[in-house]
Homo-oligomer: A and B are copies of this chain.
Amino acid sequence: MKANSVLGIIYSNAYDTALPELTGLRTMGSVPFAGRYRLIDFPLSNMVNSGISKVGVITKSNYRSLMDHLGAGKPWDLSRKLDGMFILPPFSGAGASGVYQCRIEALYGSLGFIKRCTDEYVVMCDCNVVCNMDLGRLFDAHRASGADITIAYQHGTAPALDDIMTFSFDDGGRINGASVFNGGTEDTDFSLNIFLMRKSLLERLVTEAAGLKMLDFETDVIIRNLGALKIHGFKADGYTRVIDSLQSYYSFSMELLDSGVRAGLFRPEGPVYTKPRDSMPAFYAWGSDAKNCLVASGCVIEGEVENSILFRGAHVSAGASVKNSILLQDTFIGANAKVSCVITDKRAVIRPGRNLSGAENYPFFVGKEIVI
């Protein structure tokens, strides 16, 4: 992909409601994942690694933690004079400060920004899709097929989210049928909501849809236009996961204890950038016992840790035991406490001697800054 040719758009609030526990105080984009990242780091790094130098982040609500995380965009080298990262807060019009209801309205509210950009193409991503995708390949496929729109899709069980499209294709790869998924467990080709098209086409589609008061991007823009526009699919073949619930968040996290899965998400040629915390490396005390775990910097481990993921600054005191759990940033596990199948949000404190236990298919969630 040529510099300055593709504009990136990220929806930071995509499917917030699928993960109410973790998005109560933050956007989907700022949900922590994989020990040291926030979900937005993945689409943002994919874009930067593909040479995109201008990214608009559309926000709707709860975006203060997202702004804290993104700052001036330096960790992604997006603090620029020209181009760079632009946070697009919800201003629906002069003087007002409404909140976007849907994807079309969000794009319409950002149309001024989109129009001012001089890029030829636009690629849009959601934050609940975790992948390490070379968007350059998507771009090459788009140009090779001559499609008007290319949508990345995955084959498998569709996530349990509203408005997820499933596709059928003709022999040339063009989407000739699409419907909005309504549950079911059979394998399908489902949309990853990564859309690539000419910026001028997006502007036209959004203006039209907003003019007709259409609300649903999938049904009213994509599915309606399957005949009029040449819409192609691009099959994602690397690591790709779509978070649709706390359960899938938990199982996708636990999967990362497998080195093969990790290798798919953390490819040497596609580094994942995040805001640094400048904490010291993790410290394992005498008497600690840690195995099969993913541990970020700043952690202190004095007790036992097994089959778990520890985010930056987590502390496991002496005699404590952490199993099959995910401890978000700065979680404190007191001495001799036992936790199993638990997800603790940021700065949660489990008092000494406490015993918390969830189930692998129904983890126990401890909210942000909660002291138990």
Contact = CB atoms under 8 A, between A and B. Distances in A.
Contact of A79 (B64, B79, B90): B79
B99 A97 contact: yes
A110 to B, nearest CB: 10
A178 to B, nearest CB: 33
A81 B90 contact: no
Given A24-B94, A89-B89, A90-B97, A74 B81 contact: yes
A73 interface: yes
Contacts of A64: 91, 112
B72 A80 contact: yes
A24 B93 CA distance: 12
The interface residues of chain A, by DSSP majority, are classed as loop
Q: Please tell me how many copies of the chain the complex holds.
A: 2
Chain A's interface size range is 20 to 34
A226 interface: no
Interface centre among A89, A96, A112 (most CB of B within 10 A): A89
Interface in A60-106: 61-64, 67, 71-74, 79-81, 84-87, 89-91, 94-97, 99
Nearest to A26: B94
Contacts of A72: 72-73, 79-80, 84-85
A335 interface: no
A229 B270 CA distance: 58
A223 to B, nearest CB: 31
A160 interface: no
A25 interface: yes
Interface in A20-78: 24-25, 61-64, 67, 71-74
Given A63-B91, A67-B86, A74-B79, 14 more contacts: A25-B94, A61-B95, A61-B97, A62-B91, A62-B94, A64-B112, A67-B87, A71-B81, A71-B84, A72-B73, A72-B79, A79-B79, A89-B89, A90-B97
Interface of A: 24-25, 61-64, 67, 71-74, 79-81, 84-87, 89-91, 94-97, 99, 112
11 contacts: A24-B94, A61-B91, A61-B96, A64-B91, A67-B87, A71-B84, A72-B73, A72-B80, A74-B79, A89-B89, A97-B97
